[in-house]
Structure 1
Amino acid sequence: MARYVIVMDTRRCIGCHSCTVACKVHNELPTDMVYNPVVQDGPHGTFPNLHSRFLPLICMHCDNSPCVDACPTGASVQRADGIVHVEDKKCVGCLSCVMACPYGARYHNHETGAVNKCNFCMDRVDQGMVPHCVATCHQKARIFGDLDDETSEVYRLIKENQYIQLLPELNTEPAVYYLI
């Protein structure tokens, strides 16, 4: 069975927000909802030697998902391949999962009453394609793949580079790796 992850190469991200736009369009999100924000750190330095870093954020699709555990109706689900998603018909909009997510990656959809989040574009993944945010990234700063496949690019990148995972002290085991 596959174990899907995204590697974020922060050395390549230029903060263009094409991932944010692609996600928003594909998911037909309300104007106040963004699954894929890109946060700027900087500028740092002294003129004319300035630099900024960009941190693309997304649902972490944690192996130990506090949001899944917090859901009283079973609407928050983790598939065998690691993808965490919300079954809209089961969601009662209680916001337990929103409060449980330490990454702030769940959003109450005021139009439907349900909670929504990134699902790695699982409809595309099921068809053998990559998520829209990955396909749209012209800098190739987002790499999607199966971490259990030793021939995959994500496997190679994790083995050959230094990386971090956000909030490691929580032991959520996020499926998003940031190359530093």
Structure 2
Amino acid sequence: MKPYELVIDHEACWGCRTCEVACKQEFSTAPGVQLLYVTELSGPDESGREQFSFRVNVCRHCDDPPCVDSCPESAISQRDDGIVVLDEEACSGCRSCIDSCPYGAIAFDEQDGVARKCNLCHKRVDNGLVPACADNVCLAHCIYFGDRESVENQRNSRVGRK
């Protein structure tokens, strides 16, 4: 099976945050816990004009995820399809995974005392659906999901390339 990819075209993102809302609705996370979040970057360009850009921050489902090795409870695993999943029932709340993630993509749920992370909506994916953030909620259509070929085809069709 080809591993899945979640690709975000940050240049196309205009910061509407509908991906954040879709994720929050899908997982009903506690207040302050975000499995996906949009960051606004700003600063002057070469001519001194203020410029804005946005970055969607989410688990990258690394090829060799450091969070898997750092978890003393083996609560994080990588599926054969590349999706990295955290079993909250097995999580002891030690936060080792949070410290090991180079992308800051793992949150701590103070209410439940466990780590939380994007799991690419694996239950949706297992039922032939796409993750909530990529399910046509993105108004800029900058979030792509699927196997490598499918993602490339989606991106090319949206930007008029071949």
**TM-score of the pair, normalised by structure 2:** 0.87
Matches within 5 A, 1:21-170: 21-45=21-45, 50-135=50-135, 136-147=137-148, 150=149, 152-154=150-152, 157=155
For 1:51 and 1:95, locate their aligned partners in 2 and report how far apart those are by CA, in whole Å: 36
Give, in angstroms, the shift of residue 31 of structure 1. Answer: 1.2
Q: What is aligned with 2:160?
A: none
Amino acid at match of 2:72: P
The alignment's C-alpha RMSD in Å is 2.1
Contact 1:6/1:154 (<8 A) preserved: no
Contact 1:144/1:154 (<8 A) preserved: no
Give, in angstroms, the shift of residue 81 of structure 1. Answer: 0.6
For 2:110 and 2:151, locate their aligned partners in 1 and report how far apart those are by CA, in whole Å: 38
- Aligned pairs, number: 155
For 1:133 and 1:126, locate their aligned partners in 2 and report how far apart those are by CA, in whole Å: 16
Contact 1:20/1:34 (<8 A) preserved: yes
Where in structure 1 do 4 or more consecutive aligned residues deviate above 4 Å? 155-158
1:38–1:26 distance in 2 versus 1, CA, 3 Å: same
Amino acid at match of 2:151: E
1:118–1:52 distance in 2 versus 1, CA, 3 Å: same
For 1:109 and 1:50, locate their aligned partners in 2 and report how far apart those are by CA, in whole Å: 36
**TM-score of the pair, normalised by structure 1:** 0.79
By relative contact order (CA 8 Å, sep 6+), the higher-ranking structure is: 1
- Aligned sequence identity (%): 38
Query: Where do 5+ consecutive residues of structure 2 fail to align?
Result: 157-162
